[in-house]
């Protein structure tokens, strides 16, 4: 799909096929992806060095486009339900970096990943459950006749769960304004996808539910952005839910606690250098990309410094954010 | 909403033996006439709990059940009376179950067809929709692990039941492990009061096979010969290692969910259309054209025999006692074949 969509736009300068995404958007997506990667790299280093940094990160290295290029189509009124591997969803939806870090550093202002402000539901530990939460939100939008969209994320390992089946069926039967984003990184913990799915193209399972579906290369930012645009538009126009599979490599391992280095593919395409090569091909100067990286480093430095200056949470504060008050 | 299927038949009606034609006739009539007796007993207040009829669906139960072999393991649904009887359960046992008699298969501890009998390859019927499928996938896994190439596991599930997450987890495992497992989705148009189109936007439940990359077979569930032929095909696929297989029986529930339900939510014209597809009437017409079929006189004779048998059953089971309360703790743990306190 991405190829033909690109072809229609014609050729830009230097013989490169112009981006159907548009240069401004592509630059913005790049900036966010660099920020997500830089933040995760720092988190990774901090978490593995111990001290007050005690949380567990599910790195999205190599998979950042799935978090960044999808929610780019959501408005402030929409909601997203990411897994722990979509830190970028929280960030792109406006959760401050310092708050994200506080979550991992036991700081007094730390809490769940996800907030009412960013309109992201907590990245829940129990896999598949966030998908059902997102379906509930989509159901609410539908019942209230609001032109809003919910976007739920899940891994290849969740494809075979009963929750996914019930969510797919409900979303299709009720025509929910829901975009179901499957981040197929080929692995569920230590299990390769061939051991959890009887079909290779996970998106095609949408056919069993009457869900429109698409399967795209998740290392192709433009393809992810275009497919997500179509799905969000369908949902907003009352056309119901879409199943969108993004195929990615798990370049950052499983979690900081269990890296599983032996499962990291050696020769996989890395989405970030790929995007940068594309931007250069489209005429963006290398210095501009370097400037984006420097900006991200600075933001991360500031957020880390801010977080580490905060006291560690004490037991009396544990009830915070538990009850409605 | 599924409409009656019509047109060219995929099988050769001349390929069935006269014994097979007779057996199918016997069991379809036994299924229907037993339910008619149970309905009378229900009205008399003799049945404990509900009565879940399969009027209009007998060809599916009997045809699919008849395709299973002795060594196979099955997990039928509550409505699959025909499967139970094809596999050797007596109408007397069914009556005793429905009336919660101490002499019944569960000794009055459970009712209707909620029982299993491993000597007949019937693993169990459970009430929780979808849970049964997982039990039967486990059975298929055992068959595979024990390397028994002559065995296949079968289960039946409704158009409503397949929306349950258990269905998916079971089917997914069966497909990943390529198990010798046949799942028959009995699409009877309704899941209690919910019509097909409110359950799913897909028009055919056989499309569920696409989620599992496995073969799917859709058949006319009101044609007993097609049900038999299609299920034999599915069984053969499993034996060749091509399983699991998802089948869809296109049929219709003529009565309500159970006898307490007047099914006022089902459009009358729809029921009338499906009544024209009565599986017993259609089979009678088919038998009239087949050279090796029982004659009309022989068929009349078989029906009379069934009625006689059922009258005997009613007379025998009605006066039987229900279990005594003190016996409730008996037969709960393994090794106790019968309750410690005699049930009657
Ligand atoms: C209900 C549930 N079962 C098991 C786990 C343990 N667990 C955590 S992550 C994971 C694998 C998830 O794989 P996938 O859905 O492909 O997501 P990925 O980690 O690849 O992003 C498992 C099994 C869990 N968190 N929740
Ligand atoms: C898990 C579960 N949910 C709900 C019920 C209640 N229930 C019993 S039968 C039924 C409808 C079943 O419809 P379908 O699967 O189409 O089978 P049919 O009755 O049409 O043969 C429902 C909702 C149940 N038994 N189990
Ligand atoms: Mg039904």
**B163 vs A210: CB contact, 8 Å cut-off?**
no
Is the shortest distance between the CB of B60 and ligand 2 below 6 Å?
no
Determine the pLDDT at residue A325: 62
Determine the pLDDT at residue A14: 55
Ligand 2 pocket check: which of B1, B55, B160 to mutate, most ligand atoms within 8 Å of Cβ? B160
Is the shortest distance between the CB of A159 and ligand 1 below 6 Å?
no
- Rounded to a whole number of angstroms, the distance from the CA of A115 to the nearest CA of chain B is 29
Question: Cα(B317)–Cα(B95) distance, rounded to whole angstroms?
Answer: 7
Does residue B242 belong to the interface with chain A, where contact is any CB pair within 8 Å?
no
pLDDT of A1 > 50? The answer is no
Q: Is the peptide bond before A263 cis (omega within 30 degrees of 0)?
A: no
Question: Cα(A44)–Cα(A60) distance, rounded to whole angstroms?
Answer: 11
Is the shortest distance between the CB of B198 and ligand 2 below 6 Å?
no
Q: With CA atoms as reference, report the closest residue to B6 among B284, B226, B290.
A: B226
Determine the pLDDT at residue B265: 97
Q: With CA atoms as reference, report the closest residue to B51 among B103, B95, B117.
A: B95
Does residue B338 belong to the interface with chain A, where contact is any CB pair within 8 Å?
no
CB-CB neighbours of B36 under 10 Å: 13
Question: Cα(A245)–Cα(A243) distance, rounded to whole angstroms?
Answer: 7
For the segment A154-178, what is each residue's pLDDT rounded down to a tens digit? 999 999 999 999 999 999 999 999 9
- Give the DSSP per-residue string, A135-192: HHHHHHHHHTT----EEEEEEGGGTTSHHHHHHHHHHHHTT-SEEEEEEE-SEETTEE
> In Å, how far are B64, B69, B124, B142 from B148, measured between CA atoms?
21, 13, 20, 9
Determine the pLDDT at residue B6: 62
Ligand 2 centre to CA of B210 (Å) is 23
**Which residues fall within 8 angstroms of residue B27, CB to CB, at 6 or more apart?**
B62, B65, B66, B82, B85, B86
Question: Cα(A221)–Cα(B179) distance, rounded to whole angstroms?
Answer: 39
Determine the pLDDT at residue B16: 98
**Which residue segments constitute the domains of chain B, with CATH numbers given?**
14-320 (3.40.50.970)
Q: Six-digit token pair at A35?
A: 């920020």
Is the shortest distance between the CB of A252 and ligand 1 below 6 Å?
no
Mean pLDDT per 10-residue section of chain B, whose length is 344 residues: 70 97 98 98 97 98 98 98 98 97 92 95 95 98 97 98 97 98 98 95 96 98 98 98 97 97 97 97 98 98 98 98 86 66 52
Out of B167, B176, B210, closest to residue A207 by CB: B210
- What mean pLDDT comes out for the span A125-143? 97
The DSSP H or E segment spanning A81 is strand A79-81
Determine the pLDDT at residue A2: 38
**A162 vs B200: CB contact, 8 Å cut-off?**
no
First and final C-alpha spacing in chain A: 48
* Residue whose CA lies nearest to ligand 2 atom number 19: B191
> CA-based Rg of chain B, rounded to a whole angstrom?
20
Is the shortest distance between the CB of A185 and ligand 1 below 6 Å?
yes
Determine the pLDDT at residue A11: 44
Question: Cα(B222)–Cα(B63) distance, rounded to whole angstroms?
Answer: 9
For the segment A41-93, what is each residue's pLDDT rounded down to a tens digit? 999 999 988 789 988 999 999 999 999 999 999 999 999 999 999 999 999 99
Interface test with B, best of A161, A165, A176, A210 (most B CBs within 10 A): A165
Does residue B167 belong to the interface with chain A, where contact is any CB pair within 8 Å?
yes
ipTM above 0.95, yes or no: no
Residues lining ligand 3 (ion), CB within 5 A? B 158-160, 188, 191
Q: How many residues does chain A have?
A: 325
Determine the pLDDT at residue B339: 52
* Residue whose CA lies nearest to ligand 2 atom number 9: B192
Is the shortest distance between the CB of B265 and ligand 2 below 6 Å?
no
Determine the pLDDT at residue A10: 42
For the segment A223-256, what is each residue's pLDDT rounded down to a tens digit? 999 999 999 999 999 999 999 999 999 999 999 9
Let me know: does B246 contact B206? Beta carbons within 8 Å.
Answer: yes
Question: Cα(A138)–Cα(A77) distance, rounded to whole angstroms?
Answer: 12
For the segment A2-43, what is each residue's pLDDT rounded down to a tens digit? 333 333 444 444 567 899 999 999 999 999 999 999 999 999
Let me know: does A295 contact A279? Beta carbons within 8 Å.
Answer: no
Ligand 2 pocket check: which of B129, B193, B248, B249 to mutate, most ligand atoms within 8 Å of Cβ? B129
Q: Six-digit token pair at B186?
A: 């009995």
Does residue B175 belong to the interface with chain A, where contact is any CB pair within 8 Å?
yes
SS3 A118: coil
Out of B166, B168, B200, closest to residue A172 by CB: B200
Q: Six-digit token pair at B8?
A: 């060219």
At A142, is the pLDDT very low, low, confident or very high (cuts 50, 70, 90)? very high
Q: With CA atoms as reference, report the closest residue to B158 among B219, B205, B207, B211.
A: B205
Determine the pLDDT at residue B343: 54
Is the shortest distance between the CB of A188 and ligand 1 below 6 Å?
yes
**Which residues fall within 8 angstroms of residue B56, CB to CB, at 6 or more apart?**
B188, B222, B251, B252, B253, B254, B255, B274, B275, B277, B278, B279
Ligand at minimal distance from the CA of A60 is: 1
For A158, the closest chain B residue by CA position comes to B169
Inter-axis angle of helices A271-281 and A64-71, to 10 degrees? 60
Determine the pLDDT at residue A322: 74
H-assigned helices in chain A: 2-9, 23-49, 64-71, 87-92, 97-105, 129-143, 162-173, 221-236, 271-281, 286-309
Which letter does DSSP use for residue A236 in this model? H
* Residue whose CA lies nearest to ligand 2 atom number 17: B158
Determine the pLDDT at residue A258: 92
Mean pLDDT of chain A: 92
Q: With CA atoms as reference, report the closest residue to A321 among A129, A117, A130, A127.
A: A117
Task: Please report residues of B whose CB lies closer than 8 A to that of A205.
Answer: 210-211
For the segment A267-325, what is each residue's pLDDT rounded down to a tens digit? 999 999 999 999 999 999 999 999 999 999 999 999 999 999 998 877 777 776 677 76
Question: What's chain B look like in SS3?
Answer: CCCCCCCCCCCCHHHCCHHHHHHHHHHHHHHHHHHHHHHHHHHCCCCCCCCCCCCCCHHHHHHHHHHCCCCCEEECCCCCHHHHHHCCCCHHHHHHHHCCCCCCCCCCCCCCCCCCEHHHCECCCCCCCCHHHHHHHHHHHHHHHCCCCCCCEEEEEECCHHHCHHHHHHHHHHHHCCCCEEEEEEECCEECCEEHHHHCCCCCHHHHHHHCCCCEEEEECCCHHHHHHHHHHHHHHHHCCCCCEEEEEECCCCCCCCCCCCCCCCCHHHHHHHHCCCHHHHHHHHHHHCCCCCCHHHHHHHHHHHHHHHHHHHHHHCCCCCCCHHHHHCCCCCCCCCCCCCCC
* Residue whose CA lies nearest to ligand 1 atom number 25: A126
Q: With CA atoms as reference, report the closest residue to A26 among A259, A288, A217, A206.
A: A288
CA atoms within 13 A on the CB side of A124: 15
- Rounded to a whole number of angstroms, the distance from the CA of A212 to the nearest CA of chain B is 11
Question: Cα(A104)–Cα(A113) distance, rounded to whole angstroms?
Answer: 9
Mean pLDDT of chain B: 95
**B172 vs A198: CB contact, 8 Å cut-off?**
yes
Chain A interface residues (partner B, CB cutoff 8 A): 159-166, 169, 172-173, 175, 195-199, 204-205, 207-210
Q: With CA atoms as reference, report the closest residue to B213 among A82, A202, A52, A1.
A: A202
Ligand at minimal distance from the CA of B189 is: 3
Out of A159, A173, A208, closest to residue B210 by CB: A208
Task: Please report residues of A whose CB lies closer than 8 A to that of B207.
Answer: 207-208, 210
Is the shortest distance between the CB of B254 and ligand 2 below 6 Å?
no
For the segment B69-92, what is each residue's pLDDT rounded down to a tens digit? 999 999 999 999 999 999 999 999
What is the value of pTM for the model shown? 0.94
């Amino acid at each position: 799909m991405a190829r033909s969509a690109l072809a229609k736009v014609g050729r830009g300068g230097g013989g490169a096929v112009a981006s159907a995404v548009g240069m401004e958007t592509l630059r913005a997506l790049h900036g966010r992806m660099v920020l997500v990667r830089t933040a995760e790299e720092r988190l990774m280093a901090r978490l593995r060095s111990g001290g007050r940094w005690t949380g567990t990160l599910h790195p999205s290295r190599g998979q950042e486009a799935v978090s960044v290029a999808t929610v780019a189509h959501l408005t402030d009124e929409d909601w997203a339900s990411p897994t722990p591997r979509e830190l970028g969803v929280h960030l792109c939806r406006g959760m401050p970096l310092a708050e994200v870090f506080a979550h991992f550093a036991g700081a007094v202002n730390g809490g769940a990943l996800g907030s009412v402000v960013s309109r992201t539901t907590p990245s829940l530990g129990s896999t598949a459950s966030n998908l059902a939460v997102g379906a509930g939100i989509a159901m609410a939008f539908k019942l209230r006749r609001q032109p809003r969209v919910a976007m739920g994320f899940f891994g290849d390992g969740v494809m075979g769960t009963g929750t996914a089946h019930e969510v797919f069926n409900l979303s299709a039967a009720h025509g929910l304004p829901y975009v179901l984003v499957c981040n197929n990184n080929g692995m569920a913990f230590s299990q390769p996808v061939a051991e959890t799915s009887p079909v290779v193209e996970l998106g095609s399972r949408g056919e069993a539910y009457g869900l429109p579906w698409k399967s795209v290369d998740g290392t192709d930012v433009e393809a992810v952005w275009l497919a997500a645009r179509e799905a969000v538009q369908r949902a907003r126009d009352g056309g119901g839910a879409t199943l969108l599979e993004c195929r990615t490599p798990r370049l950052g391992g499983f979690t900081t606690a269990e890296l599983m280095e032996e499962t990291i593919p050696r020769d996989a395409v890395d989405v970030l250098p790929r995007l940068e090569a594309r931007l250069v091909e489209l005429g963006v100067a290398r210095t501009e990309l370097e400037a984006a990286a420097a900006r991200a480093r600075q933001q991360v430095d500031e957020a880390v410094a801010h977080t580490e200056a905060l006291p560690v949470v004490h037991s009396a504060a544990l009830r915070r954010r538990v009850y409605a008050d | 909403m599924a409409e009656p299927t019509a047109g060219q038949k995929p099988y050769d009606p001349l390929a069935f033996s006269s014994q097979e034609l007779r057996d199918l006739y016997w069991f379809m009539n036994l299924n229907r006439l037993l339910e008619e007796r149970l309905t009378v007993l229900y009205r008399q207040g003799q049945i404990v709990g509900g009565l879940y009829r399969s009027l209009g669906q007998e060809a599916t139960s009997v045809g699919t059940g008849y395709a299973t072999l002795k060594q196979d393991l099955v997990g039928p649904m509550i409505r699959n009376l025909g499967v139970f009887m094809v596999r050797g359960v007596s109408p007397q046992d069914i009556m005793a179950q429905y009336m919660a008699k101490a002499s019944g298969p569960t000794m009055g501890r459970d009712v209707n067809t909620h029982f299993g009998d491993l000597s007949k390859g019937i693993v169990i019927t459970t009430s929780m929709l979808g849970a049964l499928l997982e039990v039967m996938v486990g059975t298929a896994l055992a068959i595979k692990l024990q390397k028994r190439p002559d065995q296949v596991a079968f289960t039946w599930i409704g158009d409503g039941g397949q929306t349950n997450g258990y269905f998916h987890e079971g089917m997914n495992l069966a497909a990943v492990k390529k198990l010798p497992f046949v799942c028959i989705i009995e699409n009877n148009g309704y899941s209690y009061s919910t019509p097909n189109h409110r359950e799913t936007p897909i028009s055919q439940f056989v499309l569920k096979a696409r989620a599992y990359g496995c073969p799917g077979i859709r058949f006319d569930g009101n044609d007993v010969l097609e049900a038999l032929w299609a299920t034999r095909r599915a069984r053969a696929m499993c034996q060749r290692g091509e399983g699991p297989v998802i089948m869809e029986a296109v049929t219709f529930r003529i009565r309500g969910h159970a006898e307490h339900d007047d099914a006022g939510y089902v459009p009358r014209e729809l029921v009338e259309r499906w009544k024209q597809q009565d599986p017993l009437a259609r089979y009678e017409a088919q038998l009239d054209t087949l050279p090796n079929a029982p004659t009309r006189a022989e068929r009349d004779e078989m029906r009379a025999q069934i009625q006689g048998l059922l009258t005997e059953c009613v007379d025998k089971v009605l006066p039987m006692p229900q279990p005594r309360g003190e016996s409730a703790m008996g037969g709960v743990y393994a090794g106790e074949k019968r309750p410690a306190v005699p049930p009657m």
